[in-house]
Structure 1
Amino acid sequence: MLSQSVYTLVNQQNGNLSFKVFEFDNSSYFDHIQRNNYFTLIIITSGEGLAKVDLCEYSFKENTLFAFYPYQPFMLASEGPLTGISIQFHHDFFCIYRHHREIAANGILFNNIYQQPFILLDQNNRQILLNIVGEIVNELKMEALRKDEVLVSYLKIFLVLATRIKLEQQSIKSVNGNDKQLLIIQDLRNAIEDNFRTKHSASDYADMLHVTPVVLSRAAKNHFNMTLSDLITERIIVEAKRELYLTDKTVKEIAYELGYDDEYYFSRVFKGKTDVSPQLYRDTIGFNKGA
């Protein structure tokens, strides 16, 4: 599809990568752990393998769309040929947090601790998304007025359509699932969303939902492929990232609002999940004061 393998847009103010589209024809691009400071979208056009994401493993095949948020650890291992196309963009180019009402991608495509980080594409959806990528590439080739705005528009369309596809697949999965377990899982999701700032232990949520920790942990593992403790911590980290990017609150203030009296313990928890400190995350991802 692409006559040239890599197209990029650089931030003229700081020289950093803002936006990139590239085609890959082997597994070497992603066969080692990635912790990128930008969003990554990957469409697998042929091949299959094993994706390692955070602490989980998922089998994948062609016509899979992956969506990874900044500093999310992932790698794609494939024994045979692997081809596809990747879009990468920095917060400074397009901030998912700021535009969540327009595209609804944050919490569905990205930063969704409750869902697997990929969707399956049928032939029609695959072609629609690849056509948008083609338009993006054409725009990147041009030296034209307000290129950034056109690229952002295409990116929004891509993200909205991908979000629709994921929502449809979630709906189908819910209809076909086990009603009793799904009820427990929904109660758990609601409990975490309402209480993650103050309650951090698995036993807190077991008591709240009137089930044993073993039952709740098993449900979390079956549905989220994560331990219950990791699920709670991931939700805290997602909120911490949002606060670090969108506000001018100190790390100490953010830690306190998320239920940590010890700023340094919070920083260790954050770094354990992201490999960077809260301050480095803010400095590297970009910081919009007064948001």
Structure 2
Amino acid sequence: MPDNNNILTLIDPANGHFLFRWFTFDYNSQFNYLRRNNYYSVIWVKQGAGKLRSDFSEHDFKDNDLLAFTPYQPFMLTESKPLSGVCIEFHPDFFCIHKHDKEISCSGVLFNNIYSPPFVNIDSNTAVILDLLLGQIKAEMENEAMAQYEILISYLKIFLITASRLKAAQQELHSQETDTKVSILQNLKESIELNFKTKHSPSEYADMLNISAKALARITKTHFNKTISNLIAERIVIEAKRELYLTNRPIKEIAYSLGYEDEYYFSRFFKTNADVSPQMYRDKVGFAKAVVNGKLMIN
């Protein structure tokens, strides 16, 4: 639980809503129950270890792991060694990774990576950089000045880019060390990316890869700690969330574009996997746009 002396929060003066938060923690009561926040969470566990429950899987985490979660992504930390570290949280109305993905390229790496655990281990060199950035963020929040939002967003971007680069490098090294099954897994990832909008059955992917459904299921579970159905569902939900946030397309239209002719079936699917209805997600996470003279304007 963060100490009140070690928590800084930025509030939107127009509506009183939370935008950005920085805090330190020295035990786990903040994260030891299932969380489904309507904002992004980046948790740097500087000391400690335990088990992370997130989405469809569980993972062990340790000292210097940086954990990253998107809005309504479920997560819970169970400690095996006492935890301490620092956390930053930000609402999509403050900074949305979907809107700024071309600038920071962290979606699919640090966030929304359905093929790897939602964390990266921070090495000593990167730790120095991230500590410096967190110090700058803290100082900026303590001393409000002109263009505060712009400065904070700049520091946040550098923080996310730095962590994403490290995770991408670690993933590349890991892929070079894995066995010959890596080609099957890579083909599966590429097939899901190309076909998730139209093909929702694991057997369809097994057929495309010319492998038995049982064999593909076994390899997928071993390497991703998830079933093929889990991977497909997560990818569909990620795309649906992106559409719900970035566009004003009707939910029925979004559902159809993702291969669901029945809007209500799609809404049940989304709520099962995101624990919130599509309309509630759009409302709570922040439908940060307005239609002016019939033209969609992104804030």
Gaps of 5+ in 1: none
3-state SS of paired residue (1:7): strand
Q: Deviations over 1:59-94 (max 9, x none)?
A: 111111001111000011113321010000000000
Q: Deviations over 1:227-253 (max 9, x none)?
A: 100100110000000000011111100
3-state SS of paired residue (1:33): coil
3-state SS of paired residue (2:215): helix
State the 1:3 CA deviation.
Answer: 10
Instruction: Look up the match of 1:8.
Output: 9
State the 1:265 CA deviation.
Answer: 0.7
What's the TM-score once normalised by structure 2's chain length?
0.94
| Alpha-carbon separation, structure 2, partners of 1:204 and 1:147 | 50
Q: Deviations over 1:4-37 (max 9, x none)?
A: 3100101112211100000001011100001000
Instruction: Look up the match of 2:232.
Output: 232
Instruction: Look up the match of 2:151.
Output: 150
Q: Deviations over 1:80-124 (max 9, x none)?
A: 321010000000000101110110011111111112100011122
What's the TM-score once normalised by structure 1's chain length?
0.97
Instruction: Look up the match of 1:256.
Output: 256
State the 1:146 CA deviation.
Answer: 1.0
Compare the two structures and name the one with the higher strand fraction.
Answer: 2
Instruction: Look up the match of 1:95.
Output: 96
State how many pairs are aligned: 289
| Alpha-carbon separation, structure 2, partners of 1:13 and 1:221 | 47
State the 1:184 CA deviation.
Answer: 0.4
Q: Deviations over 1:194-238 (max 9, x none)?
A: 111110000110111111111111121122111100100110000
Matches within 5 A, 1:144-183: 144-178=145-179, 180-183=180-183
Q: Deviations over 1:45-70 (max 9, x none)?
A: 11111111112111111111001111
Does the aligned pair in 1 maintain the 2:51–2:80 contact within 8 Å? Answer: no
Instruction: Look up the match of 2:52.
Output: 51
Instruction: Look up the match of 1:76.
Output: 77
| Alpha-carbon separation, structure 2, partners of 1:198 and 1:210 | 19
| Alpha-carbon separation, structure 2, partners of 1:284 and 1:211 | 42
CA RMSD of aligned residues (A): 1.2
| Alpha-carbon separation, structure 1, partners of 2:64 and 2:256 | 43
Q: Deviations over 1:239-282 (max 9, x none)?
A: 00000001111110000000001111100110011110000000
Q: Deviations over 1:150-172 (max 9, x none)?
A: 00000000011001100110011
Question: Could you tell me the percent identity over the aligned residues?
Answer: 50
